[in-house]
Amino acid sequence: MSRPDRVAVHLASPALFVGASADGTGADTDVVTDGDGLPFLPRHRLAARLRAGAASALTVAPELAGALEDLFGRRGSHGADRILRVGHAVLGAPVRAAVARALAGRDEPVRSALRRSVTDAYTTLESGIEVGADGAPAPGRLRTHRVLLPGLTLTAGLTWAAEPDREHWRLLARACLATTRIGMRSTRGRGRVDVRLAEPGHADPHALTLSLAAPGRREHDGAPP
């Protein structure tokens, strides 16, 4: 069995990945997009949620504490003290290639209009009343939020600075299983996600992740080398 090479993030509910979009969508809270208008989850946000998931997994597997710092570095560190790098979580390669072809050679303002259409295809607008410091609705403060549609799956590549062992895989799998919400306003029902490890040719990332998360694996069980 080849080892997992990416993390798959499936959106089970609308998600707010707040940031700057390529052309702006007119929402009070915009969504982060790449230069072609496709939404994505920035790698630092995904890595932070995975680290939090890994930390929560230590409550039942404290022996994996060393693996946490190996994988994600010391808390708050952005240096080279970690062996795992997580890429941006993006839409699939066929989608990105198709959008790039559609935009190739387009001049402004057509190019910007097409990019906004791309963003619109994967997002929707939600409205809400701004809440004041006292918890009461602020009069006349209707706000709009650009959210990603549920049902999308984004994938982030994994890059290793050193060879991971079974404890690293076990903790990473458990971190994925423990990561159930990403994005802003997650406490209000937004950003529910299923995060799993995936590999080329494996049809069931859920089964793969559960397998890697299990303790006491042996060589013939198919653990990554």
52, part of any domain: yes
At 2 the pLDDT is 61
Q: Where are the alpha helices (DSSP H) in the chain?
A: 43-57, 65-72, 93-103, 110-122, 166-178, 205-213
At 208 the pLDDT is 93
140, part of any domain: yes
Residue type, 80: A
- The DSSP symbol for 187 reads G
- The DSSP symbol for 75 reads T
Q: Do residues 144 and 29 touch, judged by C-beta distance below 8 A? A: yes
Q: How many domains does the chain have?
A: 1
At 100 the pLDDT is 95
84, part of any domain: yes
Checking if the pLDDT of 58 tops 80, the result is yes
pLDDT per residue as tens digits for the range 100-158: 999 999 998 999 999 999 999 999 988 776 666 676 666 666 778 889 999 999 999 99
Sheet containing strand 84-86, edge to edge, reads: 84-86, 153-160, 6-11, 193-198
1, part of any domain: no
Q: How far apart are CA 187 and CA 76, in angstroms?
A: 23
Per-residue pLDDT, averaged over 73-79, amounts to: 63
Q: What is the extent of the structural domain holding 95? A: 6-221
